[in-house]
Chains A and B, each alone.
Chain A
Amino acid sequence: MYAQEGSIADPLRVAIIGTGNIGCDLLLKVMASPQLRCESFVGRRNSSPGIALATSHGIPTTAGGIDALAEMADRIDVVFDATSAQDALCNWKILEGLGIPVIDLTPAHLGRFCVPALNLEECLDEQNVSMVTCGGQAAVPIARCFSDASDGGLGYLEIATASSSASVGPATRANIDEYAFTTQRATYEFCQVDTAKTILIINPAEPGIVMRNTIAVPASEKIDMEALRVSVDAMEKRINSYVPGYRVVVPPVAVDDRIMVTIEVEGLGDWLPRYAGNLDVITCAAVAVAEGRAEARR
């Protein structure tokens, strides 16, 4: 057996399926959480770098995929799904039948959207929680600030996200349309807006650019700028409680034809270098949900 550092007597037993960038970063964050214990790190190839990472930390692994995970159902309280939108759907069909709750980090959107800064408490009893997308976790809270500072809702809002090439893995690249739709749907769910649009840019510069998101509305929208400033400031602090590297780099400003806010997310540098805040913003959010469940059952 193994012991994870600083774990409490009765931690929530979790499994992670998906051993790519998201899965690996998530594993390191789960290991750092005293309230969680990783029972299994589930992949499909024994030779994957993710399996090697888990093994090096003494975490049990399997390359048997969802079938292997299903066999250990009685030992798992919660599954993090860090595969792809398509695989998450297949996995959910099996896990739902077994009664195992899932925190879904793919853009599959099979359950209730959760952005911890906006609705963590409401999601703790859900069987399937959708963590939206990395861009959604970073930008939707600010979109909500715009919506709250508007006069009864927005006509149009857009989110432009840029992430470094090295941090955008094959599953995200294959799911690029799902990424857009899911981010937009979450924007509609959490904000009062008629039309939302997302743009995702993958930037190849080396060293990588820090993940950045610009949230903008046309200058013609009626926005109480002072209310927006106060609300963005408060939101930054709320998100910092679970994503320490989240920061506003361009506070609310009216420029040209738009009112915009730019935020950056620097990661902890657990799996990929610190620029890859797109991993942290969703893995930290997912850990916050699991920790919330751990506390709720106490």
Chain B
Amino acid sequence: MSTLLTVSALSWKIQHKSILQNINFNVRKGEVIGIIGPNGAGKTSLLRCLTNQGKLLTHVSTSGSIQLKGRDLTLYSAKEVAQHFALVMQKNDAIFALSVEDVMKMGLLPHKSLFSINNDHDKAQITLALSKVGLSHELHSAFNKLSGGEQQRVLIARALVQSSQILILDEPTNHLDVYYQHQVLQLVNQLNITVIMTVHDLNLASLYCQRLLLLNKGELICDGTPEEVLTSSQLSAVFGLPCQQGIDEITGASRVSFYLKEQLQQAEIQTDE
């Protein structure tokens, strides 16, 4: 697999507070990468750096480099970045009653010139993307009236219309029930494009990601397969809780459980008895 993205010695500060420190990793074409770590580890900040979203923030200083196809990301225009990266955010700020079609048309923006109008090819692209996420029948529905899972699927479909090579998802399973969590992540896996996403649920990350990046306090602690990253010692150190690792009997994926110290002590006492 060819390397799409190379992150080298990336550090990021906001108002002198270090958010990311000396991050190094590569992303190869077609990989599904999960970024995991506790709250405040720098997961979303890393995604912001990758999509040049740091511009929206103030008092930001960046060092190191992000190379996209061998060229520094800062040399790409905002439009070119949008042609390579599609972002699915954790939440949306829609106030007005947008239809699903309105949201889907936004995905065409990076490929359109100023006065261009939508053609039949654009409409076909929108229909195809919606059918891939199983929401063709919702084209004229109100986006705000869809369930959280359906909204995520529409935003993923919008990312497909954007025709980007890398799909970035920020906590795609947040606020979703178990059924939609699996549905959304399975969908992401079936798209056959490069995916980088932040995931809170480590077992979901293990199940759906080929590779995991474990962040803590802005540092990259471990980069590897779920089996390599989700080790008891590593996770206990990062999350500050005793952890047990095992293999899920049905999926065969690594599985982790966290306990409070008191719970473990209680369990040991009961075993001894």
A binds B: no
A interface residue numbers (CB < 8 A to B): none
B interface residue numbers (CB < 8 A to A): none
